Amino acid sequence: MGTDSEMTYSVLMAVYGKENPEFLRQSIESMLNQTLPFSDFVLVCDGPLSHELNEVITWAQKQMGEKLQLIRLKENKGLGNALHVGVPRCRCSVIARMDSDDISRPDRCERQFRIIERDGYDLVSGTLQEFSRKPGDMDRLRVLPRTSEEILQYAKKRNPFNHPCMMFRREAVLHAGNYQDFPGFEDYYLWVRMLRKGCKGYNVQEVILDMRTGNGMYDRRGGREYLHWVLRFQRYLYCKKFITRKEYIKNCLVRTTVGMIPGGAREKFYHLFLRNVK
- Which of the 8 DSSP states describes residue 276? B
Round the average pLDDT of the chain to a whole number and report it: 90
Neighbours of 238 (CB within 10 A): 17
Classified as helix, coil or strand, 41 is strand
Percentage helix, strand, coil for the chain under 3-state DSSP, each rounded to 5 = 45, 20, 35
Q: 28-84, pLDDT tens digit by residue?
A: 999 999 999 999 999 999 999 999 999 999 999 999 999 999 999 999 999 999 999
Residue 140, φ and ψ in degrees, nearest 5: -135, 120
d(CA 70, CA 157): 37
Domain 7-212 indexed as CATH 3.90.550.10 = yes
Share of the chain above pLDDT 90, in %: 78
- Tens of pLDDT, residues 256-270: 887 666 555 545 555
Give residue 4's pLDDT.
47
In the chain, where does DSSP find H-type helix?
A: 21-32, 51-64, 79-86, 108-119, 148-154, 170-175, 186-196, 224-239, 245-260, 263-269
Under the banding of pLDDT at 50, 70 and 90, the label for residue 241 is very high
Written as one string, the DSSP assignment of 157-198 is TS--S-GGG-EEEHHHHHHTT-----TT-HHHHHHHHHHHTT
What is the average pLDDT across 149-157?
Answer: 97
